[in-house]
Amino acid sequence: MGLLDDFTFKIAEQPWEIEAVNALNYKTFVEEIPQHEPNQERLLADKFHEENTYIICVQEERRILAGMIAFRDKRPFSLDKKLENLDVYLPEGRSLCEIRLLAVEEEYRYTRISQGLIAQLVQHAIDCGHDLAVISGTVRQIKLYKYMGFIPFGPLVGSGDAQYQPMYLTLEAYQHLKTRSRSFAKETQELANDDTMLFNFLPGPVDYSKQVEAVYGGKPCSHRGETFVNDFQKTRRLLCELTGAGQVQILMGSGTLANDAIAGQLSLLCSTGLILVSGEFGRRLVKNANGAKLFFHTLEIPEGQAFEQADIEKALHDHPDIEWIWCCHCETSTGVLNDLEMLKSVAAKHRLKLCLDCISSIGTVPVNLSGVYLASGTSGKGLASISGLCLVFHSHDFEPAPDDLPCVLDLGIYQQSQGIPYTIQSNLVHALLAALQSHDWEKRFDDVRGWSKNIRRKLAEIDAPILAPDACAMPAVVTIALPEIHSSVNIGDKMKRHGVLISYRSNYLLERNWIQACMMGAEHRPAEKFVRLLKKELSR
């Protein structure tokens, strides 16, 4: 692309973008193709402006518009007025939309902008349920339109220097063209989020960067080699710098294994604790605790709420034997983020050991684990690496307990062995190291907050029932409690067929008829497509 390396394709929304659309519309269809009369403002608002959706190619920071195209699906089309009995020329049984106003600034015409605009518009048309688009293609660019799969039909329309050929594009023809030409498909995919691209809103597995993919695909090395040991210790150091933790142990396994390791350490205390429960993952901590034969009380609140200090203080007053607290920083099932500083303050006030499940929060929001006794994390969520490693952060030293704990859960053995007592897959470690090194974490947190603000606003506009209120919302997770008249399975399946991956298959989601959209991975996936599809389903 060269000239267009920092340009993006998007739907025009900002006032300056709309004004730039009108300016390019004037330049193209007044000055270049004499279709309309000149005016002093040198702006041309299309006659269907209020009904158009404009797909544009822009450099947002410098406010440069390189190209545009308009989508419209309300009859009569402009071509209806130029050509009688339009439908007799078209394949039967189709859902129609109209493509109009394809225009590219002169200095950008020897790039793939036109193909990128078409690709983005085709995906938008698919999202809206259409499979055939009509266009009045200027006779000056017939060759280009045919190259992109358009089929001419009927007589020319227009007059003088503003003559157009009616054409249509079917979804099948567009997909066949991409299949036939690998280079075209590759360039088009780079230019736009076309229908081959998946929008991953899963809590895991998550999208990861090219750097992570590259090192994960490399040749494994010995976990005893000097180079690997140095990389391993660097990974641990970066994890502690990110979280403010004193130390971290890295184990092979899922986040549940990390919580089992925490339960193992708590069992060595031979004391009573308090487990805070506000959703599925709080209940899983109870299971971890029962498996380790811990003594504990529970404080349970309704799903979708965050814990209040007064409620915790009351539980501590009612049970003065409590010496530790264990809870989820982010209750991923509901999309609630609990107040970490409040929890730390309560624990410090009552001299309690605070343990946290931070599996979904580390890497998506700022997390300060200083003063936290134990906390769990994982490589495959907010840290945007490959699943397979779990993390236990701690603020104190461990002693091996071979008579009381299984070897794989004995964190004292890990610390005694500088973190590598047993075989660990080197590619997973190097992938995690690459993820830690490739992120600007402050920007990452800002991006997640921005995504959360945007998707929650758009979901509110369509009256989607978000479970967690704004006051305690986890920015990276949005849980939607669907009304009974809608099926989470049907909606999730339809989303998947449109290339939008959301969470809905977990048992706790199925039981409650909930769906989830998450922003965990390295790639920022815009929420517009997800919201459009959901709006369509909720309106049925």
Question: To the nearest whole percent, how much of the chain has pLDDT over 90?
Answer: 69
Same domain for 467 and 416?
no
pLDDT at 180 over 60: no
Same domain for 402 and 467?
no
Q: Confidence class of residue 205 from pLDDT cuts 50, 70 and 90? A: confident
Q: Confidence class of residue 146 from pLDDT cuts 50, 70 and 90? A: confident
Tally of structural domains, the chain: 3
Pairwise CA distance, residues 265 & 322, whole Å: 16
Q: Confidence class of residue 149 from pLDDT cuts 50, 70 and 90? A: confident
Same domain for 34 and 172?
yes
| 3-class DSSP string for 82-144 | HCCCHHHHCCCCCCEEEEEEEEECHHHCCCCHHHHHHHHHHHHHHHCCCCEEEEEEEHHHHHH
pLDDT tens for 264-276 read 999 999 999 999 9
Same domain for 182 and 259?
no
The rounded mean pLDDT for the chain is 90
Residues 6+ apart with CB under 8 A from 58: 7, 8, 10, 17, 20, 64, 65, 66
Does residue 453 sit within a domain? no
Torsion of CA 508, 201, 334, 528, to 10 degrees: -130
Same domain for 8 and 54?
yes
pLDDT, average across residues 432-457: 93
Same domain for 467 and 424?
no
Pairwise CA distance, residues 97 & 312, whole Å: 57
Does residue 447 sit within a domain? no
Does residue 448 sit within a domain? no
pLDDT, average across residues 420-448: 94
pLDDT tens for 232-274 read 999 999 999 999 999 999 999 999 999 999 999 999 999 999 9
Tokens of 146: 């045919």
Same domain for 319 and 394?
yes
Same domain for 178 and 36?
yes
pLDDT of residue 110: 63
Same domain for 374 and 226?
yes
Question: Which range (33-37, 305-309, 455-459) has the least confidence?
Answer: 33-37
CATH number of domain containing 319: 3.40.640.10
Q: Confidence class of residue 164 from pLDDT cuts 50, 70 and 90? A: confident
pLDDT tens for 276-334 read 999 999 999 999 999 999 999 999 999 999 999 999 999 999 999 999 999 999 999 99
pLDDT at 9 over 70: yes
Pairwise CA distance, residues 191 & 9, whole Å: 7
In b/e form, how buried is each residue of 486-524, taking b as 16+ CB within 10 angstroms?
bebeebbeebeebbbbbbbeeeebeebbbbbbbbbbbee
pLDDT tens for 70-82 read 999 999 998 998 8
Question: Which range (57-61, 365-369, 397-401, 422-426) has the least confidence?
Answer: 57-61
Domain that holds residue 6: 2-195
